[in-house]
Structure 1
Amino acid sequence: MAFDLQVFNKQTHLALTETVDQDIEKFNQASGGVITLQNAPTQGDFDIRASFKAIQGLVRRRNAYGSGTVQAKRLEQLLNVAVKVAAGTHPIEYEPQQYRWVLQNPELAAVEIGQQLAKARLADMLNTAILGAVAAIGGQTTAVLDDKKNAPNFRTLNKAAALFGDRSSALKAWIVHSTTLHTLYDNALTNAERLFTYDNVSVMRDPFGRLFVVTDSPALVDSTGAAYNTLGLQENAVMVSGNNDFNSEMQPKLGGENIAAVYQAEWTYNLGILGYEWDMTAGGKSPDDTKLGASANWRKTATSLKDTAGVLVKTK
């Protein structure tokens, strides 16, 4: 039974691509689009796009009988900067002879590796999105409701939504840790509609109409370990864009008891937060999780808090 490394690599990539595409589509639809996963390749280390800053006090009251001068307002452009994140796998060793020994096709392992890697890639993208959102929003005191001494309840979430004022209805979903959700259950959450489940991510809807996206992402646990972070996000709050640069290699490994093969892959994606830009100087290129999770590396560009990604709630 011949074993072709190139065929194995192609089958792994095919299984990976099909799984990722299906799950990304399901996640984007079910989560209300607050964290959007997409393919939008960019060149260079940053994705820099220009947008116009909202003009504050654009409409004025005039004196129909006056003759004085009026101070001008400027139409200004903003640079929205998303950062490119590099990711990859550890080398994965595999011995084709193990399958031949039991008269199975060694290429069956290709599908398994592809499916596992697809789930791991999606989980990494989601965890990075949440890490960046917690850091960016957490750097704005007006966007944070700090109630770490108390357990979460719907009054707490309502107070957090109130930080958006008359735009509170723009908040479409809560990104919560499972511990937070079960505490909310204990505080009389009795009507939840399960919409979508993907490995360690669940999406539900609460009685107020906002979605609960439930995942035990590391960034949803406070750095002290004694509190939890909850994100209230509006549509397109976080954008994670793949660059279509997935590259993988499979090579034989000799010198051991049995002939082995080694698989390794790498890829990149861009992370952007609505109303914030990546500090290209302070944060730098190809950041690690420590830099992505530092509030100082995310600068607010939107004039109004209501035009940013959302709010952050800290509870016990």
Structure 2
Amino acid sequence: MTAQQRLKIGLSACFSHADPQRPLFTGKTLQYVEQSVAHWIMSAGALVVMVPCPTGETARGDVTLTHYAQWLDGVVMHGGSDVWPGSYGEQPLRPDWMGDRVRDLYDLAVVEAFEQQGKPIFGICRGLQLINVAFGGTLYQDIEMQHPGAHRHRDPVTYDQHFHGVDIVPGTRMARLYPGQGRVTVNSIHHQGVKNLAPGFDVEAWSWPDAVPEAIRRNPSQGGGYVAATQWHPEFGAKTGAILDATPLLNDFLSACQRARERPRPGASPLQVRDRAARLLRQALLRLEAR
């Protein structure tokens, strides 16, 4: 297969903000991707392109997120830091749950750009939470504190080897991707989660036994393009034991990207006003630089 034939998939960036105490790249903002998720996407033959934030104090030229969304066939929203509670209208309950407002604005602008171009969007962990917020949902700032009966969804010691069961909802697209698999095992590396589901979305899997949404998808009846996400990290494997095979999820997303390449379905900004997220990102970074 030639490079021109291969799907080109965007991967949202993680941020390491400028730190004068950091011994390497002192005082510089870093944008990067985690290796496992890039390799997971590449495992199906797709090309992966990090989508950098085009604005900031070192910005030059006229490249925008819209240009990336026009050129690429779809985007995967990376995992990472907490979502800032202000992004869904709340105050942080604890100082260490402030999240990363600048990254939120960047991620919202990425979702907005790809949604406006009708390109498929897949979210992982933080990516699911950000998608839910972008389309009008809210989050638990901490599942154990705010969700009665919740079990532990994140163990900092075992990290990606911490697992729990999820129940796939019968009749959903995910149930068709995993026929005959009702309760499955996935990794769990998060302490925030969906509280109020975004309008127009369906829950495709719930954690067992505490019923926290673990997979969501936009209902096709809403008329928009492909938007789906998992709270677990499909790119991570298990050292021992069996966990859910992530290949059907990846193939489903890439099939949607292929269809969108052939017949794109341009949409609207999830924030109601075209390019609103991109403008908010630009304004926030200008304020940050003025300090």
TM range (shorter): under 0.3
- Structure showing greater radius of gyration is 1
**Whose RCO is larger (CA < 8 A, sep 6+)?**
1
Q: Normalising by structure 2, report the TM-score.
A: 0.24
Q: Normalising by structure 1, report the TM-score.
A: 0.23
Larger strand percent: 1
